[in-house]
């Protein structure tokens, strides 16, 4: 089982919190789409004919692509890869792109899952984030997507925003659960480099909410998700049974994936590849079949650290036996020793030789991860 990720690095507006690789100009869009097809062809053996169970268009804003552009990419994918019979095919979408006409046309492509960036149901917060849609547009987009026949829909929300009260967050969650969609990605705001929010924070134009408030919002999220029968299957991801993101689950279960496009990553079990983060360079170098990526052969320590970082945040936990069998006994011993203190402090739980974050541990997962790393 494997997956394909395709990065669409175009946005109509830059959100003030976002540091993902993207461009506001569409000048190179056609050349970029051509380069994506070239890269698909160039790397058709990367997955060694493994069955492709998931395809994910991430961004940037993949909903800036029309039906024709998407179908041209699918044509290449189906030609070059062994796509399974019922793949999960996700498209990340901004609400204001999802007109009735766009959604109807999208149904004519193989896309069968939508991940919609709702972020908030308060127009003042959307404005503060420099989003280009209103709360009303998000509600319309979700309803229309359901009307045209999309069942597998996920929504993104952000909490821990400047001045966000727990009451406001509760309203956002309640509105979300009214939509009757089966998947929620809820991210706590992080202040990323090169963002307007970080600049505002440094110049005291905005303030971080206190940690106690962040914790309350996270607790409320877990509580309301549970009350609505959503399973908390990864730190920021919640879903009804049967609706976990198969693509992201693949990342967390060490499945191989091919990343296509500028800034995309790939993993084949032994190495990771990182495509160049520059639109023009990517287009030129792919066209000339030149070096457009860096390759890193994974040492045992890298494999161990990757395994910890991708598993500990999930409901499946970190399997000490897997570490011992696949990576090496000395890493399993290292992990067991390091985990002892965390278990004693109530941050980790060990059950059947699998380590899980406790409810307390979930909120300080980065500190725990750092502690378990092999440096």
Ligand X SMILES: C[S@@+](CC[C@H](N)C(=O)[O-])C[C@H]1O[C@@H](n2cnc3c(N)ncnc32)[C@H](O)[C@@H]1O
Cβ count near 7 (within 10 Å): 25
Among positions 103-132, residues that touch ligand SF4 (CB under 6 A) are: 117
Long-range contacts of 125-128 (CB under 8 A, 24+ apart): 125/161, 125/164, 125/168, 128/16, 128/161, 128/162
- The two tokens of residue 66 are 């029309």
Binding mask 16-55 for ligand X (x = CB under 6 A): -xx-x-----------------------------------
Nearest 5°: CA angle at 199, between 193 and 201? Answer: 105
187 binds, among ligand X, ligand SF4, none (CB under 5 to 8 A by kind): ligand X
- For CA atoms 132, 133, 138, 142, give the dihedral sign: negative
The answer to whether 188 contacts ligand SF4 (rule: CB under 6 A) is no
Smallest separation, CB 354 to ligand SF4 (Å): 34
Binding segment for ligand SF4 (CB under 6 A), chosen from 9-17, 223-231, 241-249, 298-306, is 9-17
Q: How far apart are CA 320 and CA 281, in angstroms?
A: 42
Write the secondary structure of 256-283 as one string of H (helix), E (strand) and C (coil): EEEEECCCCEEECCCEEEEECCCHHHHH
Binding segment for ligand SF4 (CB under 6 A), chosen from 12-20, 39-47, 180-188, 216-224, is 12-20
Q: How far apart are CA 18 and CA 10, in angstroms?
A: 13
Among positions 65-104, residues that touch ligand X (CB under 6 A) are: 92, 94
Smallest separation, CB 8 to ligand SF4 (Å): 9
- Helix, coil or strand: residue 314: strand
Smallest separation, CB 73 to ligand X (Å): 18
Smallest separation, CB 120 to ligand SF4 (Å): 12
How far does the chain reach from its first CA to its final CA, in angstroms? 31
For ligand SF4, the closer CB: 162 or 361: 162
The answer to whether 187 contacts ligand X (rule: CB under 6 A) is yes
Smallest separation, CB 190 to ligand X (Å): 4
Smallest separation, CB 117 to ligand X (Å): 2
Alpha helices in the chain (DSSP H): 29-42, 67-80, 100-106, 123-128, 135-147, 166-178, 196-202, 211-227, 246-252, 279-287, 300-311, 320-322, 329-344, 359-362, 365-372
Among positions 153-182, residues that touch ligand X (CB under 6 A) are: 156, 158
192 binds, among ligand X, ligand SF4, none (CB under 5 to 8 A by kind): ligand X
As to burial, measured by CB atoms within 10 angstroms (0-12 exposed, 13-18 middle, 19+ buried), residue 233 is: buried
Binding mask 52-91 for ligand SF4 (x = CB under 6 A): -------xxx------------------------------
- The two tokens of residue 71 are 């179908």
For ligand SF4, the closer CB: 189 or 215: 189
As to burial, measured by CB atoms within 10 angstroms (0-12 exposed, 13-18 middle, 19+ buried), residue 352 is: exposed
Binding segment for ligand X (CB under 6 A), chosen from 14-22, 71-79, 319-327, 335-343, is 14-22
Contact 166, 213 (CB under 8 A): yes
Binding segment for ligand X (CB under 6 A), chosen from 12-20, 39-47, 215-223, 360-368, is 12-20
Interaction site with ligand X (CB under 6 A): 17-18, 20, 59, 61, 92, 94, 117, 119, 156, 158, 187, 189-190, 192
Interaction site with ligand SF4 (CB under 6 A): 11, 14-15, 18, 20, 22, 59-61, 94, 117
């Amino acid at each position: 089982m494997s997956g394909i990720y395709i990065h669409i690095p175009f946005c109509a507006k830059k959100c003030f919190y976002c540091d993902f690789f993207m461009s506001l100009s569409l000048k190179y869009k056609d050349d970029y789409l051509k380069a994506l097809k070239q890269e698909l062809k160039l790397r058709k053996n990367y997955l060694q004919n493994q069955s492709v169970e998931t395809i994910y268009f991430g961004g940037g804003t993949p909903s800036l692509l029309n039906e024709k552009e998407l179908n041209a990419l699918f044509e290449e994918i189906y030609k070059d890869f062994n796509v399974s019979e019922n793949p999960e095919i996700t498209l990340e979408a901004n609400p204001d792109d999802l007109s009735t006409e766009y959604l109807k046309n999208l149904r004519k492509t193989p896309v069968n899952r939508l991940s919609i960036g709702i972020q908030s149901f308060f127009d003042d917060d959307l404005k503060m984030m420099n989003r280009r849609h209103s709360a009303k547009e998000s509600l319309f987009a979700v309803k229309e997507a359901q009307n045209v026949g999309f069942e597998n829909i996920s929504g993104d929300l952000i909490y821990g925003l400047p001045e966000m009260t727990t009451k406001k967050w509760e309203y956002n969650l309640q509105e979300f659960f009214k939509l009757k969609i089966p998947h929620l990605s809820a991210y706590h705001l992080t202040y990323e480099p090169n963002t307007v929010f970080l600049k505002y924070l440094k110049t005291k134009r905005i303030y971080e909410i206190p940690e106690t408030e962040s914790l309350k919002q996270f607790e409320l999220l877990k509580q309301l998700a549970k009350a609505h029968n959503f399973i908390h299957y990864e730190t920021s991801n919640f879903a009804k049974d049967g609706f976990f993101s198969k693509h992201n689950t693949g990342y967390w279960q060490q499945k191989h994936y091919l990343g296509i496009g500028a800034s995309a990553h790939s993993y084949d079990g032994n190495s990771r590849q990182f495509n160049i983060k520059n639109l023009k360079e990517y287009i030129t170098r792919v066209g000339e079949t030149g070096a457009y990526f860096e390759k890193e052969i994974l040492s045992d320590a890298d494999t161990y650290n990757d395994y910890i970082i991708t598993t500990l945040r999930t409901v499946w936990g970190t399997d000490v036996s897997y570490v011992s069998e696949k990576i090496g006994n000395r890493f399993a011993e290292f992990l067991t020793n390091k985990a002892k203190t965390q278990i004693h402090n109530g941050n980790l739980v060990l059950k059947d030789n699998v380590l899980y974050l406790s409810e307390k541990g979930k909120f300080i997962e980065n500190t725990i991860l750092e502690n378990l790393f092999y440096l």
